[in-house]
Amino acid sequence: MPFGPLPARFDFDRRVDQTVGYDLNWLLDAFNSGGAAGPTGPTGPQGPTGPAGSTGATGPQGSTGPAGATGATGPQGATGATGPQGATGAQGATGAQGATGPQGDTGATGPQGATGAQGATGAQGATGAQGATGPQGATGASGVGDWVLVGQAVASGSPATLTVGSIPSGASSLKIFFRGRDTANSTDLNARMRFNSDTDASHYTATIYVGILSGAPANGSFSSSIDGSLFANVPGVSSNANSIAQSETLITGYADGFWKEVTTLGSNIWGATNNKDMLNTAFTFTQTVAITSVTIKAGGTAFVDGSTLTVYKQT
């Protein structure tokens, strides 16, 4: 189908199509004339380049090309200011201890420090050896009512008598203890007591006694003699080398102005069958003078060595 007439001229600047190479307006003129197309004239000279059109949108970025060769190193720039110190890193592991160095000179002694708190008490050590006994101190004053030793006689060389003398008068009572046996080859003998070396039999009363002799009750009396009055039964060594007697005699008011009552409690064992006696005796020293010495006389021959007569006073 034929096209309608085209406008005489396009209202646009002449521009040369760089690819086809013809003038558009010329083409319009030829089309509008309706004549046959003549031969194509020679290509006219290229017109001047038109003004650049507006920049189109940026196309997508192409792939990164290969890296170029590294350029020469430029001169070192000036040193920049020191930045703030970074945080301290974690402490590294402790290294091995080095060898001990030589000892240095001793320094001056420093001031003594304050005394520390006392430590706990240590365990008690072993008991040391006992030291030598010190000298005996002076005898203290006697308390009221105390019994104080006056003296003691110990038989040695089989004596017939034992005596304790130098009895002071500044006391209230005497206690006289006897322990021993007779050397006679006999069984049961009567020991006697006298005072102040007084051998006048009339100055002593007869002894009365009550007790148990060989397991049977007994009582009676014994007359006085120049050796005084009976105070205890003392066995000999017959049939029993270990026989023994003991007694305790009490005299109150021994230094006052009255006669002196003498009371004794004693016991003994004697004989092959171990006979036992217990005897309570009493007699009177009919003198008002103070007693200053006590003597006992063996009833048989003599006292066995080791027999004792001991006198105490009470303040």
User: Tokens 């006979």 — which residue?
Assistant: 275
With 0.85 as the threshold, say if the pTM is over it. Answer: no
- Adjacency order of strands within the sheet including 147-154: 147-154, 308-314, 173-180, 244-252, 260-270, 275-285, 207-213, 216-222
Of the chain, the percentage scoring pLDDT greater than 70 comes to 84
Task: From 251, 276, 255, select the one nearest 264 (Cα to Cα).
Answer: 251
DSSP state of 296: E
Query: Mean of the per-residue pLDDT values for the chain?
Result: 84
- Adjacency order of strands within the sheet including 161-164: 161-164, 294-297, 188-195, 229-235
Q: What is the pLDDT of residues 45-76, one digit of tens each?
A: 887 877 876 777 876 877 876 877 877 877 88
pLDDT class for 143, splitting at 50, 70, 90?
Answer: low
Residue 81 is predicted with a pLDDT of: 86
Q: What is the pLDDT of residues 156-183, one digit of tens each?
A: 999 999 999 999 998 899 999 999 999 9
- Residue 71's CB: how many other CB atoms inside 10 A? 6
pLDDT class for 154, splitting at 50, 70, 90?
Answer: very high
